[in-house]
A = this chain, B = another copy of it.
């Protein structure tokens, strides 16, 4: 590693071309990560940015640096919004809303699954996102159990496993049509609901 450290380089005055390239790489990375996940070959990102792969190393120090520089826009923002919004949902439907929203994110954003699966454990940012996510899980599970919306034997670990399994399925398998996916989300919800809770429709 030469001199890189964190996000958008700004410490030393960059030359104009370097600044321009940084920006192009950033936005190419956001697009590529969102479309194909965090494991997309850097070569492709470079191509989309109209620069050489080596330039990515010059500007960001490598994949980890690049991820740290854009992960906020790629997934963190959206995830935190989901968590935040979930808190405003009524206690009884909250856990169903949360799981549905998470699964939606997983379906739409391959990068989100890479975060969950901790594909790059060397990125602080990624680990931090995971941590926050785990805490949200526990928060919502506890609340849901208290409200009777969830069957009592269901643990935070169960939720975690549920989501991780889905991440693996989406990552290594063929993604199903959206309506099939959503229907299966319903089965899931019905399987974890407490007896007392009323279902949405069914």
Chain A positions near chain B (C-beta within 8 angstroms): 151, 153-154, 157-158, 161-162, 164-166, 168-169, 171-173, 176, 180, 183-184, 186-192, 195, 202
Interchain CB contact under 8 A, A183 and B158: yes
Closest B residue to A191 by beta carbon equals B191
Q: A187-B192, A191-B190, A192-B187 are in contact. Are A157 and B180 (CB under 8 A)?
A: yes
Across the interface, do B158 and A169 meet the contact criterion of CB distance under 8 Å? no
Are A158 and B173 in contact (CB-based, < 8 A)?
no
Assuming A187-B154, A191-B187, A191-B192, is B161 touching A165 (CB within 8 A)? no
**Given A168-B172, A168-B173, A172-B172, are A162 and B190 neighbors across the interface (CB < 8 Å)?**
no
User: Would B158 and A164 count as touching, CB distance under 8 A?
Assistant: no
Return 8 A-B CB contacts under 8 Å, by A number.
A158-B183, A162-B184, A165-B166, A168-B168, A169-B169, A186-B191, A187-B191, A191-B191
